[in-house]
Structure 1
Amino acid sequence: MSTSLILACLWALIANVLAMTPSKDMHWRNAYILIAIGIPIVGYVTWENGPWVGLLILAAGMSILRWPVIYLGRWVRRLGGKGAS
């Protein structure tokens, strides 16, 4: 297993452990930190293993951090709706 995939697995393990801990801000601070660390890891995985593996890791990260992705989609949809009218 390559170094980048080991880092991606470690990121996923840490994300799941953080999800099990109690948080006053509903885990948003943890999500921001995981996003900041996860984006370079996805780039490293893509560079070392190719775009298909990078897309799989990106999909896995998006499934773990689904609420930031949902809110981003809502925000983009709202921006697109204002420009169309």
Structure 2
Amino acid sequence: MSPSLILACLWGVAANVLAMTPSRDHHWRNAYVLIAIGIPILGYVTWQNGPWVGLLVLVAAMSILRWPVIYLGRWMRKRMGRG
């Protein structure tokens, strides 16, 4: 397994552990940190393993951080005038 995929797996484990901890702000601070760390890891995975593996890792990360993706979609729809 390549180092980039190991980092992506560790990111996924860390995200699940953080999800099990109590949080006053409904885990938004954790989500921001995970996004900031996850974007370079996603780029590294894509660079080292190709775009299809990068796309799979992106989909996996989006399933873990689904609420930021949902709110981004709502915000974009509202900005486009379709909300």
TM-score of the alignment, normalized to the shorter chain, above 0.5:
yes
Q: Are positions 1:16 and 2:25 aligned together?
A: no
Q: What's the TM-score once normalised by structure 2's chain length? A: 0.97
Secondary structure in 1 matching 2:80: helix
The answer for unaligned runs of 5 or more in structure 2 is: none
Instruction: Report sequence identity in percent.
Output: 79
Q: Deviations over 1:7-52 (max 9, x none)?
A: 0000000000000000000000000000000000000000000000
Alpha-carbon RMSD across the aligned residues, in angstroms, is 0.7
What is the number of residues matched between the two proteins? 82
Aligned counterpart, 2:25:
25
State which structure, 1 or 2, has the greater radius of gyration over its C-alpha atoms. 1
Aligned counterpart, 1:3:
3
The answer for unaligned runs of 5 or more in structure 1 is: none
Distance of 1:28 and 1:61 partners within structure 2: 15
Distance of 1:80 and 1:63 partners within structure 2: 24
Off by >3 Å, runs of 4+ in structure 1: none
1:4-83 to 2 correspondences below 5 Å:
4-81=4-81
Distance of 2:60 and 2:38 partners within structure 1: 11
Distance of 2:80 and 2:56 partners within structure 1: 28
**Letter matched to residue 51 of structure 2:** P
